[in-house]
Structure 1
């Protein structure tokens, strides 16, 4: 199989798994969606890669609905970590390091954290010390760290208003909140109840930047990015954090627009979050 064919197979498998997660969130389908996805795949390796792509969102039907995370699904997720092991040491956050490995490390941490929480009664929590630092190395499963917790979070650096900023806008150059909101959208699988860390703290500190990013994405007709960012707004709203606008109409607009299983899953998760009443940590 050529590299292009392999990438196509991986993308198709991830879309199929996202659709299975969406069905489970809606109360449709079997009780072991992840395991069934792997067992029925023509390319089991692509199916295991899809688990890592969809990641923590595989737990959304359990966190936001009545679905039970089955032992078969837990075994499939664990196998995906065995076949595609995370890096032993976490990559440095941008700009010291490259963005993509760091984003993947955060998403892997989220998946491993929820896997441990749903499957291992002895799974260790990640305590916060008096300085607000999340001190544990990562989720523990079977006596070891499955995916280490990365350092840092997307940093929002709003530039001062003035002629330079106006020139940047005129030239189409992103300012701080634009880049930051897109980066937070890339970390949208962390916008789920039960995950706590520096990324969630960053979201709570900048709801206006998230709102601006979501609106900008809609105006640019970049609906996948809009759906990912609005998940953060939905989570903040569920926690009782004040957000600049009610995200429900935007969620409905994105739902009506369509755009494939991945976007539909993001929208469905946002809609479920808006129906919750969570306590802010």
Structure 2
């Protein structure tokens, strides 16, 4: 019961933090104040920040919006609190690298660690590729060029297939993540109807703030304009 309650609290914290990023992307700037260091909700907030990863910095990277001291402290605190183990899953290693790299791009922290190995993504079946890319959607940001982004470019059609599959399976978070990648890729088939597909994903899955975040990112990235 305790584990279930903790999971629910974390899910709620992730939703709140994702909503604040969506608000920032819309120019709202209504992020709730962070708990002070050592406050009762600080560990939960850091764990939620770890889930969102580099997306915490998306408003600064896309809009050149200044970060509050609370957000900077949350990013640096998360990087310090959750260093990945060497044997961690590839998505964990890459998520940490993406956050550190994004923080370095806007001078929030020092140099990012060396990019992890990406051999695990070579030649994987397209459903698995789409799943992994959706988990690593925060890598689809300006300035985060790496082996994973190159793999996505090399397999645009497979990512498009994965997007359609996720929509048909009503996996809205995976569909939104795949759609975000497709918004950054060239040679996406016109027949895919990505814009209409993203509208449908938002309509059906928009009660999840993480879905809204990915759809909003996809639309911003698809314009090719940093405002």
Normalising by the smaller structure, the TM-score range is 0.7 to 0.9
Distance of 2:207 and 2:151 partners within structure 1 = 28
Indicate if the aligned counterparts of 2:72 and 2:108 stay in contact, CA closer than 8 A.
no
TM-score, normalization: structure 1? 0.72
Distance of 1:251 and 1:206 partners within structure 2 = 20
Distance of 1:244 and 1:277 partners within structure 2 = 21
Partner of 1:57: 55
Indicate if the aligned counterparts of 1:13 and 1:50 stay in contact, CA closer than 8 A.
yes
Distance of 1:83 and 1:224 partners within structure 2 = 26
Partner of 1:95: none
Q: Deviations over 1:144-199 (max 9, x none)?
A: x4xx5210152234xxxxxxxxxxxxxxxxxx212221122121111111101110
1:230-241 alignment runs, 5 A limit: 230-236=179-185, 241=186
Indicate if the aligned counterparts of 1:38 and 1:48 stay in contact, CA closer than 8 A.
no
Q: CA deviation at 1:228?
A: 0.7
User: Structure 1: where are the runs of 5+ without partners?
Assistant: 92-99, 125-138, 140-144, 158-175
Distance of 1:82 and 1:105 partners within structure 2 = 14
Partner of 1:156: 123
1:27 equivalenced with 2:15 (yes/no):
no
Residue of structure 2 aligned with 1:271, choices 208, 211, 219: 219
Q: CA deviation at 1:14?
A: 1.0
Partner of 2:2: 2
Indicate if the aligned counterparts of 2:18 and 2:213 stay in contact, CA closer than 8 A.
yes
Equivalent residue of 2:129, what SS? Answer: helix
Partner of 1:103: 91
Q: Deviations over 1:77-125 (max 9, x none)?
A: 11122222322x3x3xxxxxxxx7221110111001111221259x54x
User: Structure 2: where are the runs of 5+ without partners?
Assistant: none
Partner of 1:74: 72
1:130-279 alignment runs, 5 A limit: 139=112, 145=113, 148-152=114-118, 154-157=121-124, 176-236=125-185, 241-245=186-190, 246-257=193-204, 258-276=206-224
1:12 equivalenced with 2:8 (yes/no):
no
Equivalent pairs counted in the alignment come to: 221
Indicate if the aligned counterparts of 1:15 and 1:261 stay in contact, CA closer than 8 A.
yes
Distance of 1:251 and 1:38 partners within structure 2 = 34
Indicate if the aligned counterparts of 1:185 and 1:225 stay in contact, CA closer than 8 A.
yes
**C-alpha root-mean-square deviation of aligned residues, in Å?**
2.3
TM-score, normalization: structure 2? 0.88
Higher-RCO chain (CA-CA 8 Å, sequence separation at least 6): 2
Q: CA deviation at 1:3?
A: 2.0
Equivalent residue of 1:67, what SS? Answer: coil
User: Which has the larger helix fraction?
Assistant: 2
